[in-house]
Structures are given as C-alpha cells and as structure tokens.
Structure 1
C-alpha cells in the first residue's frame, strides 16, 4: 500500500465527520454540525492532523462529501476543502455522501447492495442504490447499482416516500442510513435488512478517500461543487398546509 496522508470531511448531516488516513491508519472524529460546523471545522482539522502525527504540509489530497444533504453543510465542506486544497496546492476528491453511508453500512452490517437514505425534510428523502464491486486491480469500491438491462436503478435523487417505496419494491436491497428512521413507512412490510445507524462517518470517509486517491480520481479545487439534488430549500405556506392535511400523522422535525 503506497504511502499517503489524506484528509476527508463531510458536513451533509447534523454531524460533522472528519478523518485523516495516514499510511493505512485512520484518525476519525465526529462533531456537532449545523450552524456550529463552520466555526469548529478548521480547529478540529488542525487537531486531527496533529493527532495523526502529521502536519498540514504532509497532506497529499483532500476528500469532501459533496452531498446530497443539508445545503449549509455542503457549502461549508466544499468551501473548506477547496480553500485548503488551493492553499496547500493539493488535489481534491469529491465523495458521494450516500456512497459514504453505503460504506458505513457494509462495515457495520456487511451489506453489499444497498439503498442509502438521508432525510431531506419537507416530506422527502435523498436516496440512491449502490453495489459493492471489486475491480480488476483488487480494489473494492461502490458503484451505482444497475438492473438486469444494465440501467442505473437510482443515482442520488430526491424522492417522496411513495415513489421511494415503489423503487425499493421493484429493486429490493438492504436499507441503510438515518433517513429510514424518518421514512420508515416507505419500507414497511418489505422485510428487508436495515442499518439506520450507517452514517458518512470517519472510517467511511477514510476508505473512500483512499480508493479515490489511489485511482487518481482527482479534481481541480477550482472546479469543486456541492451536489445539491434539490433546488428548493423551503415549502410555501400553502404547501405546508396541504402536507398537514394529506399526512396528518407524518413525523415533524
């Protein structure tokens, strides 16, 4: 395994996840996300790099969770990763947050084919279906799962619970991510294994950042962007009222 020092971060959920991968040894940390993320992120990165016995100048590449997820968190992770990469003159690797959840689910529950889900609020969820594969070089990675006709089942997308349920029924797989706790009705009665505690955590960040770096899937920091999926951040008053009528028992957050 080649020598390398990698920094990776994800702020797409309510928890800020950080990792430093240094020659196969992982230092990981989880902090409060949301409004506190931007204030705490740089000091936390410096502390974690120090805990790994490295300096910022030792970092070979930086990985960031591009989303989908909370808009503010995505912008924060992208901006911090971009600024550090430009300042250090290092490449970036963009990591799909839902693939990070798939990696976490594999580590916790052994899932190989999995629907990953994060709550998108407003009665919707971010979802994708993944398949764990081994390349010709022996490196194991995640790709979007395909059906019998070799068509992608579900790239990261925004779905209502009824549409999500229909897709999962048509293409059954294990379920992972905290979104399944919020949208549990979408999987009710389907008898599929669930790992709701799978998160884009430090171990998953380190693993996917290393694979992307080893495969030289680098991007120019100037081209780094979040993956929003949704282009609307709030419901109108009429939409909120309609949802209360249509879903009187829906989980409120």
Structure 2
C-alpha cells in the first residue's frame, strides 16, 4: 500500500511516504513555519520515493493528523490534504484518511515502548492538555477507551497500570500529578505512526472524500475578545477594591 502521511499539529512537522524499499520519513520545524514549509517538504520527500506532486495518482491514500493541536497547523494540514487529493486521478480525487493526533501518539508509544494501554496527552498550551485513552489488542488494533478531552495538567487521570504517553511531563513537569503514580514515556504523533495505522483504518472504511478532510478541534476558542478582556480586567479591579485591607 502506497501512502503519503503528514502531521502539523505540534511544533514539529512530521512527514512520511511509502517508498520502494519501505517508509521514508522526515521531521522539520513546524508551528509557525508549517504553512510555508509543508509543500516544499512534501516535494522533497516525494522525490526520494520517485514521485512528484503530479504523480500522486499512484498513491492509495493521503493520511494526515487531524488534531487536536495547533489551529494554524491543523488548518494547514487540511487545506494541503484537500488540495492534493482534489487534483489527483484526473479530478476524481484520492481518498483522504484523517487520523486523530492522540491515536498517533499511542501508536508511537506502542512501537517504541511496547505500551498497550495508553493515556495519550499533548501540551495544548494555555496551561492545558489534550488527552485520550486508547487500548491495543492483537487482531483488533487500537480501540478508544474514553472520550477526547481537555484538562489542566493537575487534573489528568491515568488508570492504574496504564501508561501516560506524550509530552505532558516534558511540558508541565511535577504539575502532572498522574506521573507520580503512572509510568510516563515520551511519544509523538509522527508520520511513521500514521503509516502504520493507515491500513487498518482504511480497511475499516475511515477514509473520506477530500471535501470532508476536516480538523478535529477540542478547544473552540483560543483568545478572548476585546470586550471580554476589558470585562475580565474590570472584574479584577473590582475584586481588588473589595478585598479587605490588611491591618498593620
């Protein structure tokens, strides 16, 4: 199965393609650079596999990390996946496979650390973590073991015997209280994990037409409006004025 995969949900840009002799992978700085870097990086990666953007018809599908993650990164991934897929096969389009970012984290943890019961957690910025639980069984692959969520580092829960995977501890250290009782391993949503996940997900019918290649958001809002900031500041001033004055 020939696949092109990429993830732009974090500060690192992950890419992979199925080459003649196996997967070819690359990682580059992402974040604010993702929108400008993704297409040139894909061109270079495809060239290593003997492909170009004009010969994507030979691929079975495009695979991308759908989030949650950086809003800018997710929009970049979706727009590129849609554009490449729409233009392939004489306008008939390539199938597109959106893969949850935290599922890719769980798969990376399984491959590198042998984990089969995983709470995957990634830094969501703003003092919060994205998290989801996944359980692996031979023959069935990964199954969701809980809803996708967003929480403070202190509130992250990891069941007894499960592994915490991702970058939560690297980002928040001792604030991740669950790491004191659970095994924690570094893991990432790299494109090699997307390639490994893709055959099973495609067999399950998870591919979508290009127009339906959409981001998976958890946090609907990343900034306050001017009015909301003003209201919050006024509330702080009022609260401070109402506080009892310390006695000398």
1:227 maps onto 2:223 in alignment: no
- Number of matched residues? 222
Gaps of 5+ in 2: 237-248
Structure 1 residue runs of 4+, over 6 Å off? none
Deviations 1:125-152 (A, max 9, x none): 10011111233xxxx521112xxxxxxx
1:190 maps to 180
Distance 1:212 1:21, change over 3 A: farther
Other structure's SS at 2:80 match: helix
1:118–1:180 CA contact under 8 A, matched in 2: no
Deviations 1:157-202 (A, max 9, x none): 11122331xx32x555101111222233223563322112x11112
Distance 1:53 1:141, change over 3 A: farther
1:121 maps to 125
How high is the TM-score relative to the length of structure 2?
A: 0.82
Distance (whole Å) between structure 2 residues aligned to residue 27 and residue 105 of structure 1: 20
1:5–1:23 CA contact under 8 A, matched in 2: no
Other structure's SS at 1:50 match: helix
1:76 maps to 76
1:10–1:17 CA contact under 8 A, matched in 2: yes
Deviates more, 1:40-49 or 1:69-78: 40-49
2:149 maps to 157
Q: Which of 40, 49, 62 lines up with 1:52 in the alignment?
A: 49
Distance (whole Å) between structure 1 residues aligned to residue 179 and residue 9 of structure 2: 29
How far apart are residue 28 of structure 1 and its match?
A: 0.7
More helix by share: 2
1:213 maps to 202
1:95 maps to 99
Other structure's SS at 1:183 match: helix
Deviations 1:209-251 (A, max 9, x none): 2322343421111112101100111356549x98xxxxxxxxx
Gaps of 5+ in 1: 146-153, 243-253
How high is the TM-score relative to the length of structure 1?
A: 0.80
Other structure's SS at 2:208 match: coil
Structure showing greater radius of gyration is 2
Distance (whole Å) between structure 2 residues aligned to residue 180 and residue 131 of structure 1: 21
